[in-house]
Chains A and B, each alone.
Chain A
Amino acid sequence: MKALASLKLTAAALGLLAAGVLWAYFERAQSVPALVAPMALLALNLGCAIVLNPKFRAQLPLLVFHVALLVLVLLAAAGRLTYLNGRLELATGEAFTGELLDAEQGPLHRPRLAQAAFVNEGFEIDYAPKWKRLETRNVVRWRTARGEETGVIGDQTPLVLAGYRFYTTSNKGFAPVFVWQRAGAAAQRGSVHLPPYPVLQFAQQVQWILPGTERGVTVRLPLDEELIDYERASGFRLPPRRDVELVVDGRAHVLAPGASLELAEGRLRYEGLTTWMGYVVFFDWTLPWLAAAGALAAAALGWHFWRRFAARPWNEAR
Chain B
Amino acid sequence: MHEAPLLWSALLAYVVAGSTSIVALALERRADRSILALLALGLGLHGAALAARWVAGGHGPFITLFEILSSNVWSLTLVFTLAYWRVPAVRPAAAFVMPVLFILMGWLLVAHPGEGHFPPTYRTLWLYVHVGLGKVFLGAVLVAVGLSGLILARLAAQGLEELAFRFMAIGFVFETLMLVSGAVWAQDAWGRYWAWDPLETWAFLTWLSLAAFLHARVGFGVGPRASAVMIIGVFVLAFLTFFGVPFISTAAHKGAI
Binding site for B on A (CB under 8 A): 7-8, 10-11, 14-15, 17-18, 21-22, 24-25, 76, 85, 128, 130, 132-136, 154-158, 165, 167, 280, 282, 284, 287, 290-291, 294-295, 297-298, 301-302, 305, 308-309, 314-318
Contacts and interface: CB of A to CB of B under 8 A. Distances in A.
Interface in B86-126: 86-89, 117, 119-121, 123-124
A291 B160 CA distance: 36
B170 A305 contact: yes
B220 A7 contact: yes
A78 to B, nearest CB: 14
The dominant DSSP class at the A interface is: helix
A135 B176 contact: no
Given A165-B191, A305-B170, A317-B160, A18 B209 contact: yes
Nearest to A25: B201
B173 to A, nearest CB: 5
Closest 3 CB pairs of A and B: A317-B159, A7-B219, A294-B180
Contact of A10 (B194, B198, B219): B219
Interface of B: 86-89, 117, 119-121, 123-124, 157-160, 162-163, 166, 169-170, 172-173, 176-177, 179-180, 183-185, 187-189, 191-194, 196, 198, 201, 204-205, 208-209, 211-212, 215-216, 218-220
A11 B169 contact: no
B97 to A, nearest CB: 17
Given A290-B183, A302-B173, A21 B204 contact: yes
B92 to A, nearest CB: 11
Given A309-B169, A317-B89, A317-B158, A134 B180 contact: no
The dominant DSSP class at the B interface is: helix
B205 A22 contact: yes
Contacts of A284: 193
A280 B208 contact: no
Contacts of A297: 176, 180
Contact of B89 (A136, A156, A167, A315): A315
Given A11-B219, A18-B209, A132-B117, A24 B196 contact: yes
A63 to B, nearest CB: 15
Contacts of A11: 212, 215-216, 219-220
